[in-house]
Amino acid sequence: MSAGQSSKGTTRGYVVPIGGGESRRRNPTILRRFVEICGDSAAHIAVIPTASKRADTGPRYERVFRDLGAETATVLPFKSRSECYDERNLAVLEEVSGVFMTGGNQVRLSSIIGDTPVATRIRTRHLEGLHVAGTSAGAAIMPEHMIAGGESGSIPRVDMVEMAHGLGLTDRLVIDQHFRQRERLGRLLAAVAANPTAVGIGLDEDTGAFIDANDLIEVVGSGGVTVVDPTDMEHANLDDEDDDAPISLIGLRLHFLIEGGAYDITTRTPYL
């Protein structure tokens, strides 16, 4: 994902990964902001609860978005890959101004919608201005390189992170969630070491990264965003024969940003 316009001259929509555990009732800052960028009272939002096995996940977010003033909120409960080829579901994605992917299991989400017309439609419409948000698993799937799983801990190891193919809304980021709450610094460092062209962002709970068409990240929410920049990385011993041994990393830059902070992915520059 690079800044600017699509080949049709349209402006790309926002990408909004959220770290999970976002406030939905008491102080729904992140979700309210998403509704606003989707058109506020004219917002049409499709909720994709596929990552979750709970039957009430989709309807719960549907109610939240309507309570926040969206004109419509429609649940698209893709439970099988065959449903991702249904023209009625694809027609809904043509009409909405925003897509929201819930939490759950990102591998489940990827295995059902990955490489289907739904994934293609979301990517195409995003280039035309569709805003795409996701919380927890819905955030993890957004990049080209998805963190599929791994272990907690602050010290990176080769075997600490499992990677898989994501939705592909960006090839410039690797995203992790529930970040400080589940002590995931080690696996994000391991993921960045294995994909050194991408910036790593770790999203705390109740924290979102609003990424605009110019690849500028704005932090919104009560937690923070950890940014791991590998631009000047000089060494990473990923070829160590012992997969459970710590990885030596030299030259990484690390930033921690709270609400109001920003980060330019293109220039790799943080702002307060």
pLDDT tens sequence across 244-264: 888 899 999 999 999 999 999
Q: Which of 136, 145, 218, 255 is catalytic?
A: 136
The question of whether 205 is a catalytic residue gets the answer yes
pLDDT at 243 over 80: no
pLDDT tens sequence across 204-234: 999 999 999 999 999 999 999 999 999 999 9
The answer to whether the beta carbons of residues 143 and 198 sit under 8 Å apart is yes
Q: Give me the chain's average pLDDT, please.
A: 94
pLDDT tens sequence across 132-168: 999 999 999 999 999 999 999 999 998 899 999 999 9
pLDDT at 46 over 90: yes
pLDDT > 90: percent of the chain:
89
The question of whether 36 is a catalytic residue gets the answer no
Q: How far apart are CA 31 and CA 47, in angstroms?
A: 12
Q: For residue 244, what are the CA distances in angstroms to 147, 163, 235? A: 18, 16, 18
The question of whether 178 is a catalytic residue gets the answer yes
Q: Report the pLDDT value the prediction gives residue 4, as an integer from 0 to 100.
A: 42
Q: Report the pLDDT value the prediction gives residue 10, as an integer from 0 to 100.
A: 75
Q: Which of 22, 110, 131, 205 is catalytic?
A: 205
The residue extents of the domains of the chain are 15-271
Mean pLDDT of 103-129: 97
Q: Which of 131, 178, 218, 255 is catalytic?
A: 178
pLDDT at 1 over 70: no
Q: Report the pLDDT value the prediction gives residue 28, as an integer from 0 to 100.
A: 97
Q: Can you read off the two tokens belonging to residue 223?
A: 């937690």
The answer to whether the beta carbons of residues 46 and 40 sit under 8 Å apart is no
Please tell me the class of the 15-271 domain: alpha beta
